[in-house]
Amino acid sequence: MDLRYTPDEIAFRDDLRTFFKTQIPAEIRRKVSEGRKLSREDIVTTQRVLHAHGMATPNWPLEWGGKDWSPVQRYIFSEEIQACAVPQPLSFNVNMVGPVIATFGSQAQKERFLPSTATLDIWWAQGFSEPGAGSDLASLKTTAKLEGDEYVVNGQKTWTTLGQYADWIFCLVRTDPAAKKQQGISFLLIDMKTPGITIRPIITIDGGHEVNEVFFDDVRVPAENLVGQVNKGWDYAKFLLSNERIGIARIGLTKERLARVKRLAQETPAGEGMVWDDPDFRRRLAWSEIELKALEITQMRVVAAQRTKASDKPDPSSSILKIKGSEIQQQATQLLVDVAGPYAMPRPDREEEGLNLPSVGPEWADAAAPLFFNYRKVSIYGGSNEIQRNIIAKAFLGL
Amino acid sequence: MDFDLTDEQRMLSESVNRLLTHAYGDFEHRKGYRAAPRGFADANWQALAEMGLLGLPFDEADGGFGGGPVETMIVMEAFGRGLVLEPFLATVVLAGGLLRRAGSEAQREAILPSVVEGSMVLAFAHQERQARHDLHDVATAARRDGADWVLDGAKGVVLAGDSADRIIVSARTSGARRDREGISLFLLDPATPGVTRRGYATQDGLRAAELVLEGARVPADALLGHEGQALPLIELVVDEANAALCAEALGAMDVLRDLTVDYLKQRQQFGQAIGNFQALQHRAADMLVATEQARSMAMYAAMMVQSGDAAARRTALSAAKALVAKLADQLGKDAIQLHGGIAMTEEYKAGHYFKRLTMIGTLFGDVDHHLRVVVAAGGLPEAV
């Protein structure tokens, strides 16, 4: 047992670190570090740099631009890209629809979609959640009815992250209304420019426009855009979500955030000293660091186990990573609000009114509270933490 | 990065667990062991000796097994599962850890073979009433008198102190009570005139002693290691003890969680198993999360206790102990609550695990103490 990286793994990490810090524009990395909103261009620019170096889609099959990295190398990549405050390749493209098409799609679909999915020439959105189908995703109601060689889609998707930038959306749709829940669902690719699609922004409590509602009103989709077999979409969705396992805890990112909290606490005056001199603050920060260390090792154990273990038996690890990872991410954003103190209050940046006034306090403090508000989402999305506890209790503890 | 055990480590784990299934599989046996004169079973101690465990971390030249912190972790985790009474921590990890490093060849030869063969129990007497968790706070004094040393002072909560055949005592040979310099170690035969000890049971069913030294005279060769320079070694050995306790707590937590989950499946109320209730399911799920976080921290402790950077080692071990103790406390209390009344009985196992976990939480520094150490260091060390 040795928790340290081997010299080869250290060399691999150091190469990545140099690459990230020299090839990704510093301004983009600064935005990530400060938790500011990234523009569409920031994300596209980054992904194209990564793609030019063969690093946009490391988890894809080799023939479609993947890397034959070991589980440890994949883990190092995931951690290091976060720790260097580099925007990760767009998850909808790279972790979700890409692997589904590469695994279950037709040859024609692969050739049509995979290259432009890798380069972000197609920006994908995820059309899973609906107003009545959140944690209970399988109760989704959006229908796709085959008429000739077209599906006619009707219904509504919601929480569509960055849907305002999307060229295409991959949707779970009900193709057999008579079948029981999971059984009548298919996986359909829809061009966002198709007539009958309306997108409406949802402004979240941080004031940002990150998510959307998407309405489908007699949207006609070529039948060839159905991935895999009809009524098997639920299996593909489960496959897609299992790809999220590595990196779901976002440990690298939280590490970087906590280091920044520490730095800012040392620079932010508080009475006779700095925020850093407050022992209560320091204790809370220490707890976050300690819990993060435990989670990091938990994640490393999961990665190491992937080398040897067959993955078909129930495994609670992704639920554990989700629960603890989201809690610690939220703690880090809260600590940042605490460091900002009274200057967490001013709100010069009012996106929905098109206003972007100069900062009142320190510039970094503007983003502190919005980030904290925004991060309440991380214990809700991807299967809420309560759903994760249900999974642990039922699938692993047998309750 | 590698979490696999070697073949030897796997064999060690299997044979320790086999032994404990035999000796501790029936919880009634433990009650019998506690009633024995030394508070543990002679036969179990001999069985540990025969397996080579009583020389686990000692050099092969000293008759030992040459094991490291991972081997200790494997053994202590198993001991935690069995809620073992035998004084492995006191004899092998604490006193053995001091002796194997600071002992002269003659001192090691005089004692370690007897430890390895199971004929000698050791203890480390360091704790003093005023010191609480500060390892450098030593008032017990040793002064030279001719060729001898004369010891005066009082030591408290000496683990296995009542049954120990030799006790390693820390005492100040120079400096003021809270100086880091000036602390020395002495090998003491408890039969020495001027030594009195009062043995007692601890809340978790183990044994300890209060030790009073009044002009206790020991020969010059009782000095263990360099005069006045013992603190760094004491800190190292206490870190090793805390790594061992993290592993022991983990083993106990695993058992207590399984016990609780089994009970949730069996216990019927309102016409169904109480495990059907989501309020209880979520708490059981949290128990699993807690054990996995504790498992990671026990591994971190075993790793970092080998670090050559003493400051990084100390901070890391405090981090590990703080989190494991916090999780153990939370899990122990949940286990009692989820069981309900049955866990309040002396007869049932759960309460005994809870009590041991509670005492582990206070041994060698409680949560607040260890958190203070991490805070004072400005956070965790960089490297894994």
CATH of the domain at A383: 1.20.140.10
Window 37-96 of A: residues touching B by CB (8 A cutoff) are 72
- Do A282 and B322 lie within an 8 Å CB cutoff? no
**Where among A37, A62, A89 does a domain terminate?**
A89
* Residue A112 maps to a domain: no
Domain range summary for chain B, segments of one domain joined by +: 7-120, 123-224, 231-376
**Where among A170, A203, A231 does a domain terminate?**
A231
| Residue A300 at interface with chain B, using a CB cutoff of 8 Å | yes
* Residue A238 maps to a domain: no
- pLDDT per residue, tens digit, chain A (399 aa), is 888 889 999 999 999 999 999 999 999 999 998 888 899 999 999 999 999 999 999 999 999 999 999 888 999 999 999 999 999 999 999 999 999 999 999 999 999 999 999 999 999 999 999 999 998 999 999 999 999 999 999 999 999 999 999 999 999 999 999 998 899 999 999 999 999 999 999 999 998 999 999 999 999 999 999 999 999 999 999 888 877 666 689 999 999 999 999 999 999 999 999 999 999 999 999 999 999 999 999 999 988 887 765 555 567 888 999 999 999 999 999 999 999 999 999 988 766 666 778 888 898 998 899 999 999 999 999 889 999 999 999 999 999
Q: Does one domain contain both A251 and A392?
A: yes
In chain B, which residues have their Cβ closer than 8 Å to the Cβ of A389? 281-282, 285-286
Which among B284, B322, B380 has CB closest to A393? B284
- Catalytic residue, chosen from A9, A150, A244, A291, is A244
Please name every residue paired with A209 in a beta bridge, in sequence order, or none if there are none.
Answer: A203
- Do A390 and B380 lie within an 8 Å CB cutoff? no
* Residue A49 maps to a domain: yes
* Residue A177 maps to a domain: yes
ipTM above 0.85, yes or no: yes
In chain A, which residues have their Cβ closer than 8 Å to the Cβ of B5? 1
**Where among A67, A89, A111 does a domain terminate?**
A89
| Residue A178 at interface with chain B, using a CB cutoff of 8 Å | no
The domain tally of chain A equals: 3
Quickly name the fold that domain B7-120 has.
Butyryl-Coa Dehydrogenase, subunit A; domain 1 (1.10.540)
* Residue A183 maps to a domain: yes
Instruction: Name the average pLDDT for chain B.
Output: 97
Looking at CA atoms only, how far is residue A167 from chain B in angstroms? 40
- Give how far Cα A192 sits from Cα of A172, A228, B318, Å: 15, 21, 54
Q: Which residues of A41-67 are buried (b: 16+ CB within 10 A; e: fewer)?
A: ebbbbbbebbbeeebbbbbbeeebbbe
Looking at CA atoms only, how far is residue A205 from chain B in angstroms? 28
Quickly name the fold that domain B123-224 has.
Butyryl-CoA Dehydrogenase, subunit A; domain 2 (2.40.110)
Give the residue from A290, A295, A299 with the most B CB atoms within 10 Å of its CB, the best one to mutate.
A290
Q: Does one domain contain both A252 and A369?
A: yes
The CATH code of the domain at B231-376 is: 1.20.140.10
**Residue B383: predicted pLDDT:** 66
- Tally Cβ neighbours within 10 Å of residue A145: 14
Q: Does one domain contain both A251 and A319?
A: yes
- Do B289 and A392 lie within an 8 Å CB cutoff? yes
- Do B281 and A394 lie within an 8 Å CB cutoff? yes
Q: Does one domain contain both A74 and A130?
A: no
Return d(Cα B57, Cα B61) in angstroms, integer: 11
* Residue A32 maps to a domain: yes
Instruction: Please give the radius of gyration of chain A, using alpha carbons only, rounded to the nearest integer.
Output: 22
Q: Does one domain contain both A198 and A170?
A: yes
- Do A3 and B299 lie within an 8 Å CB cutoff? yes
| Contact status, residue B268 vs residue A371, Cβ threshold 8 Å | no
Alpha helices in A7-152 (DSSP H): 7-23, 26-34, 40-52, 71-83, 91, 98-104, 107-119
Which among B293, B378, B383 has CB closest to A294? B293
Looking at CA atoms only, how far is residue A325 from chain B in angstroms? 11
- Do A279 and B292 lie within an 8 Å CB cutoff? no
| Contact status, residue B331 vs residue B284, Cβ threshold 8 Å | no
Which among A290, A323, A389 has CB closest to B319? A290
Q: Does one domain contain both A305 and A253?
A: yes
Mean pLDDT calculated for residue range B104-109 = 97
- Do A316 and B288 lie within an 8 Å CB cutoff? yes
* Residue A115 maps to a domain: no
**Residue A357: predicted pLDDT:** 81
Q: Does one domain contain both A388 and A299?
A: yes
| Residue A242 at interface with chain B, using a CB cutoff of 8 Å | no
Q: Which residue has the higher pLDDT, B252 or A182?
A: B252
- Do B375 and A279 lie within an 8 Å CB cutoff? yes
pLDDT digits (tens, 9 = 90+) for B160-202: 999 999 999 999 999 999 999 999 999 999 999 999 999 999 9
Residue A244 annotated as catalytic: yes
Range of the domain at A13: 7-89
Mean pLDDT calculated for residue range B108-131 = 97
* Residue A2 maps to a domain: no
Q: Does one domain contain both A259 and A390?
A: yes
Return d(Cα A211, Cα A200) in angstroms, integer: 9
Return d(Cα A89, Cα A98) in angstroms, integer: 12
- Tally Cβ neighbours within 10 Å of residue B21: 13
